[in-house]
Amino acid sequence: MAAVAGIASVTVATAVGATKEKTFSSGALSKVVPDEAVAVQTLKVKTKGTIKDVNALVGLETTINQDYALYLRHPSGETIHLSSNNGGNGNGYGSGGCGGAMTFDDEAEVAIDSFDGVNATFFEGSYQPEQTDQNDIGGLEELDGKKLNGKWQLLASDTDAGGAAGLRCFKLEVEYKTAKK
């Protein structure tokens, strides 16, 4: 019998509806948060899919943390309250640019509004977003099941006169299900 030699061909493809993870970043920023006003940073996400989990990363230098509020706006307009007037006299969310950004994560062990920041110079690590019943605003889990692509916005608000702040970074870490083709 003659031996039959063959070459096996294997095609590897991403399964439709597969789960992926990706980070979307503004890159380094130098955006001023005006006194008693709101600075808006937009992040355009072109990747299509359905959100399974999303974390927001922020680098914000402040003079006094308790004078600032942060919100994340989904492309649909739904707004998630991340933090308001937290952190005492600390001076930042994160320890610098994108490499030191702090994370808002529903699965974090500590809630941002339970950390007073009195003995810290800045927030670092991961925190649960502030939970509030105002306007039925919930945590980041409110975005699970929504579309990923579109214009996301970080809103940084100076709530008191006399301070100064600079937005240094805005990122989204997203676990999502790929769009069906």
Mean pLDDT of 19-42: 93
pLDDT at res. 115: 66
Residue with the larger pLDDT of the pair 88 and 9: 88
pLDDT at res. 94: 86
Is-contact 170 41, C-beta < 8 A?
A: yes
pLDDT at res. 64: 84
Where is 151: in which H helix or E strand?
Answer: strand 150-158
* Domain 21-178 annotated CATH 2.60.120.260: yes
pLDDT at res. 119: 53
pLDDT at res. 163: 78
Taken as a whole, the chain contains a residue count of 181
Which residues have C-beta within 8 Å of that of residue 38, sequence separation ≥ 6?
155, 156, 157, 158
For the purposes of burial, counting CB atoms within 10 Å of the CB of 15, is it exposed (0-12), middle (13-18) or buried (19 or more)? exposed
110 confidence band (pLDDT: 50, 70, 90): confident
Mean pLDDT of 122-145: 78
For the purposes of burial, counting CB atoms within 10 Å of the CB of 147, is it exposed (0-12), middle (13-18) or buried (19 or more)? middle
pTM of the model: 0.85
46-80 residue pLDDT tens: 999 999 999 999 999 988 888 999 999 999 999 99
17 confidence band (pLDDT: 50, 70, 90): confident
